[in-house]
Structure 1
Amino acid sequence: MQNANIRYLFHLLRNALIGILLLLAAPKANAQQTNLNMLDHDAKPYYFGITLAANQSYFKLEHSPAFLATDSIMIAEPMKTMGFNLGLLANARLTEHFDLRFNPQLVFASKNLYYRDTYPKPQDTEKKIESILLSFPVQIKFKSDRIGNMRVYTIGGLKYDYDLSSNARLRRADDLVKIRKGDYGYELGAGFEFYFESFIFSPEFKISNGFGNVHVKDPNLRYSNVVDKLQSRMIVFSIHLEG
């Protein structure tokens, strides 16, 4: 299942890269006669857009001392799953090559955990930890000079995530793994901007990782007791449509 998710994500990336290469390789009779689209766009102090994205998310897991002390749970490890993002984009021009970008998103993700039990009977258990995140990333964007109707850019910045479906306050059976509502982290990525007559098409690939430990420790919860730390990890392929 994990390998299938990885293949799917890289299938999206591969198709986007193929499209980019085809656009770059498109024959031009005379480079000087190429029509440059949206010439006034680069001088805009700000502009807006929308974001559609696919994500692969998982936890970086560190075991607690109780994991080594117990013989009822032999394996506890993270699983990688697919999700999607919907967002808005606001871009402010700082200099010719630097922009400030705010890209709030609604993120649907699942960061599941896999356990192998030996008690009360041998079995495999998957704990589904589904998240609906409000993500607020602020990024610095460094962009290259324009090459015809295309340019390359990189991004780096910080984010704050708020989990609308957090179960941190629930009190249920001992099979619960509690997750905090808030998390913060960093984002790094790169992309391309393709200028069309009335909009900009921007495929982008980035990593979006959390700094904090989102696990709410509770020694009374069986599946939580063997986990010390959970940190969010996400790989995102985005399409930005900008005006």
Structure 2
Amino acid sequence: MLHIQRTKAKNLKSRAFFLVLFFTVSYTSFSQKVLYQEDHDNKAYYFGISLGISKASFHTHLSPGFMEQDSIMVAEPMNNGGFNLGLLATMNLTRRFELRFNPQLMFTERNIRYQLKYKDQDFGYQVDKKVESVITSFPLQVKFNSDRIGNFRVYMLGGGKVDIDLASNAKARKADDMIRINRFDYGIEAGVGFNFYFPSFILSPEIKISNGLSNLHDRNENLNYSRILEAIQSRMIVFTIHLEG
């Protein structure tokens, strides 16, 4: 089932990429010569909504104790899909630069797969530890915009974020057999996107990479699956559609 879910998520992202590519080529080739929303770049600020899908995982650092034990051979982070909903507020700084605030609610799951040397009576030689998360993310980004080509424009972005995991299990009483994850995280983001101007709105598909900088791991010395990990950091690739006004 895990293999099927990963395959479906991979196929979904491939289809989304080719759909955006096809739409970009078609739109720039057959778009009307009339410029839509010519005065949009003169607005001091504007708002929008966001809808996206993500591929999330952990980046793990093994502890020195990993070499001192012989029961766990491999601890491998797995890629898992998720989706996010958000709001958008953008302020014009200059002709090229904009400041954007994009708070989001993200639903995702990040797993770590362990390969065991000795067979477990319940799981065999392979154990998956699941971490389900409901994250409120608060990214603040700077956008660099290209010139408009008709009703089309490219932009790049970069910035930082603060995340709060509402489903954090670090303080859960029944989390002794789980990988415990702290509630707060912060990190950096970078991405690229496209603006397609329509008479009443702007459609902006975007892809970005998000890397957490803090150590999320609440280490548990009594749990072998946790003891062998020194640090855990978040990693995410997000494809988002913004509807801006």
Give the TM-score normalised by the residue count of structure 2: 0.92
Report the equivalent of 2:46: 47
Report the equivalent of 1:62: 61
Number of aligned pairs? 238
Partner Cα distance (2:14, 2:69) in 1: 38
56 and 140 in structure 1: CA distance in 2 versus 1, 3 angstrom threshold: same
Verify the 8 A CA contact 1:168 1:180 in the aligned structure 2: yes
Give the secondary-structure state (helix, strand or coil) at the position aligned to 1:197.
Answer: coil
Which consecutive residues of structure 2, in runs of 5 or more, have no partner in the other structure?
A: none
1:15 matched to 2:14? The reply is no
Trace 1:91-240 onto structure 2 (pairs within 5 A).
91-117=90-116, 118=118, 120-121=120-121, 122-172=124-174, 174-240=176-242
Report the equivalent of 2:70: 71
Verify the 8 A CA contact 1:5 1:80 in the aligned structure 2: no
Give the secondary-structure state (helix, strand or coil) at the position aligned to 1:170.
Answer: coil
Verify the 8 A CA contact 2:31 2:151 in the aligned structure 1: no
Give the TM-score normalised by the residue count of structure 1: 0.93
Kindly, what percent of the aligned residue pairs are identical?
A: 49
Partner Cα distance (2:141, 2:99) in 1: 6
Trace 1:31-42 onto structure 2 (pairs within 5 A).
34-42=33-41
CA deviation string 1:63-88 (max 9, x = no partner): 11222211222221100010001000
Partner Cα distance (1:168, 1:70) in 2: 25
Give 1:222 deviation, angstroms.
Answer: 2.2
Partner Cα distance (1:7, 1:67) in 2: 35
Q: Structure 2 counterpart of 1:73, which letter?
A: I
Give 1:19 deviation, angstroms.
Answer: 1.2
Partner Cα distance (1:125, 1:103) in 2: 36
Partner Cα distance (1:99, 1:136) in 2: 17
Which consecutive residues of structure 1, in runs of 5 or more, have no partner in the other structure?
A: 29-33
